[in-house]
Structure 1
Amino acid sequence: MTNIQIFFPAIYLVALTFVLAAAMARGRLRAVYNRAVDPAYYLLQRNGAEPDQLRQMSRHYSNLFELPVTFYLLVVIAAVTQAADGVLLALCWGFAALRTLHALIHTGSNHLKYRMYAFMGGFVILALAWMYLTYRLLTLA
């Protein structure tokens, strides 16, 4: 494994973020065009509300700047310290896959039980990745 490969799951997650941002923008423009939302709502997000499906998309987009931030930090630390290996790469791809599943559920059916399982699975995998990275750094020091 090359050290560069650890960036691929992060690049994938960034691409997912851009895809969801584009879908959210398209939905917002459509809602304004169809007069389902007053354009003034987007100034401060008050004095009105988005349709539920659009609100789900907006909320999920915000989620992509919460837990994944610690994932991006992990990837950078692993690459810079050359601590990345096949185990860490697999954990990173596992996190990216579960974030994708979480996105599909949250922006689709929004079934709370399945969404929670996807989120918690990603959370556990990310926690394991941090523990593993810490172990690798301690043994490389």
Structure 2
Amino acid sequence: MEVSSQLIQPLVALVIWSMVMWLWMYATRLPAIISMRLEMDPMAPSGEQMAKLPARVRWKADNYNHLMEQPTLFYALVLALSIMGVSSELAIYAAWAFVVLRIIHSLVHVLGNKIELRFAIFVASNIPLLFLVFIAARSAFNS
């Protein structure tokens, strides 16, 4: 398998994980809405109704939203590296490390939300992301 194809695998894995979190979010949110008999009010300020849900339910949505934020940089970097034809094992290891750390971050968030631990994992996930930035910058500006 080509290295650039191997670089796409962690990207796809993180997309799959994001879809797992999306399903988990609705699998907990919809039953909570029904059991609490919440009536959806389109005139309510954004987030006001969901704030009434139990924290354990909200954490799934919060984490799904987090997966739509910083990982967008990861997606852009991996695609850029693939387009540039970067064939670096360091890039592949960094990409997988980012994905694994984001999955761990998700699990810490949604299963108990230990904020200090979650923050430490978030910070750690930036290390492989920075490696990807440096690899992409070196490739893009030294061509």
Above 0.5 in TM-score?
yes
1:53 to 56, 59, 62: 56
Distance (whole Å) between structure 2 residues aligned to residue 79 and residue 128 of structure 1: 15
Distance (whole Å) between structure 1 residues aligned to residue 41 and residue 114 of structure 2: 27
Distance (whole Å) between structure 2 residues aligned to residue 128 and residue 92 of structure 1: 9
- Aligned pairs (5 A) from 1:1-141: 2=2, 3-35=4-36, 38-40=38-40, 44-47=46-49, 49-139=52-142, 141=143
In the TM superposition, what whole-angstrom CA distance separates every residue of 1:108-131 from its partner, at most 9, and x where no partner exists?
A: 111111101110011122012101
Stretches of 4+ aligned residues off by more than 4 angstroms: 41-44
Task: Return closer, same or farther for 1:113/1:137 CA change in 2, 3 Å cut-off.
Answer: same
Distance (whole Å) between structure 2 residues aligned to residue 115 and residue 59 of structure 1: 13
Identity, in percent, stands at: 22
For the 8 Å contact 1:5–1:89, the answer to whether it is kept is: yes
Stretches of structure 2 that go unaligned for 5 or more consecutive residues are none
Distance (whole Å) between structure 1 residues aligned to residue 118 and residue 5 of structure 2: 31
SS of structure 2 residue aligned to 1:75: helix
Give the C-alpha shift of residue 78 in structure 1.
0.6
For the 8 Å contact 2:84–2:139, the answer to whether it is kept is: no
Deviates more, 1:43-52 or 1:124-133: 43-52
Give the C-alpha shift of residue 17 in structure 1.
0.4
Stretches of structure 1 that go unaligned for 5 or more consecutive residues are none
User: Across the two proteins, how many residue pairs are aligned to each other?
Assistant: 139
Quote the RMSD (CA, aligned, Å). Answer: 1.8
